[in-house]
């Protein structure tokens, strides 16, 4: 289990394959190990990395910079990803994220990478809304409890026996943001993205209402932006979030074509 010390915190990360680096940014309640399938698929062509934020997965439970984390956890995660890459001697990469990981990926490509003199080669962002009003965010968090009931064993494997405390801490953080009015990535961040971007999702995803209009707005801001929206993911249990897991075959096919174009 490789670790890297960042800010007096031991950060667990996974690495597969060789070649140009591709960083996977986990969604809010997941750890790197949840993306083993995506890592295995991409490792034939890339050096694929994923990591656990402090307080999650196999990383230290000690938390620092709580003011930055509380103010904007997704921008904070993007900044943290930059420190991980620099610690590993990586100065250019592709980036992929779903849900909260997608928000972090946009921050990474829009502002943080440039601040840390990193080059972003391409971005894949799945099943997200860049503008979450307080009601939409609260409703997404309300649905989280149903997910925990069905996937508690998997989350225990990702985070350990304290998995529920890990999830509850993230939920409390997100509830606070919702209570402040919600969350939106500023257009100055999206305007700053200069690499190709692929946005994917499902029109039937209850967590991302209005995703078609939301993606159309973003595609009008980012210069090189492609969009793929499935009408339904045909998941056997009716779960549509994220498309990455609801319909992995379709998602990977679309991502493969995008990455082949931009490499």
Residue 179 banded pLDDT, cuts 50, 70, 90: very high
User: How many Cβ atoms from other residues are within 10 Å of residue 115's Cβ?
Assistant: 10
Q: Determine if residue 226 is left, alpha or beta; phi over 0 gives left, psi from -120 to 50 gives alpha, anything else beta.
A: beta
For residue 121, give the H/E element and its range. strand 119-126
Task: Look up residue 53 and give its DSSP letter.
Answer: P
184 CB-near residues (< 8 Å, 6+ apart): 130, 131, 132
For residue 258, give the H/E element and its range. helix 248-262
pTM of the model: 0.96
Per-residue model confidence as pLDDT tens digits over 39-83: 999 999 999 999 999 999 999 998 888 888 899 999 999 999 999
Domains and CATH numbers, the chain: 3-128+190-262 (3.40.50.1820)
């Amino acid at each position: 289990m490789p670790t890297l010390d960042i800010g007096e915190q031991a950060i667990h990360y996974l690495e597969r394959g060789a070649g140009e680096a591709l960083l996977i940014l986990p969604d809010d309640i997941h750890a790197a190990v949840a993306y083993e399938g995506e890592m295995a698929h991409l490792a034939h062509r890339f050096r694929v990395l994923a990591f656990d934020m402090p307080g999650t997965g196999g990383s230290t439970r000690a938390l620092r910079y709580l003011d930055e984390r509380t103010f904007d956890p997704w921008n904070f995660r993007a900044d943290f990803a930059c420190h991980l890459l620099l610690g590993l001697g990586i100065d250019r990469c592709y980036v992929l994220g779903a849900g909260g990981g997608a928000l972090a990926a946009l921050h990474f490509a829009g502002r943080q990478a440039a601040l840390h003199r990193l080059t972003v080669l391409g971005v894949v962002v799945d099943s997200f809304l860049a503008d979450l009003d307080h009601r939409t965010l609260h409703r997404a968090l309300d649905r989280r409890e149903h997910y925990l009931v069905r996937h508690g064993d998997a989350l225990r494997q990702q985070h350990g026996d304290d998995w529920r405390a890990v999830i509850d801490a993230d939920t409390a953080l997100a509830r606070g943001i919702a209570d402040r009015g919600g969350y939106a990535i500023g257009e100055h961040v999206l305007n700053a993205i200069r690499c190709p971007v692929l946005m994917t999702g499902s029109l039937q995803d209850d967590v991302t209402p209005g995703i078609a209009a939301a993606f159309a707005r973003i595609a009008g801001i980012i210069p090189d932006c492609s969009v793929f929206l499935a009408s339904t993911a045909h998941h056997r249990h009716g779960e549509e979030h994220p498309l990455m897991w609801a319909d992995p075959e379709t998602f990977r096919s679309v991502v493969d074509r995008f990455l082949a174009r931009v490499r």
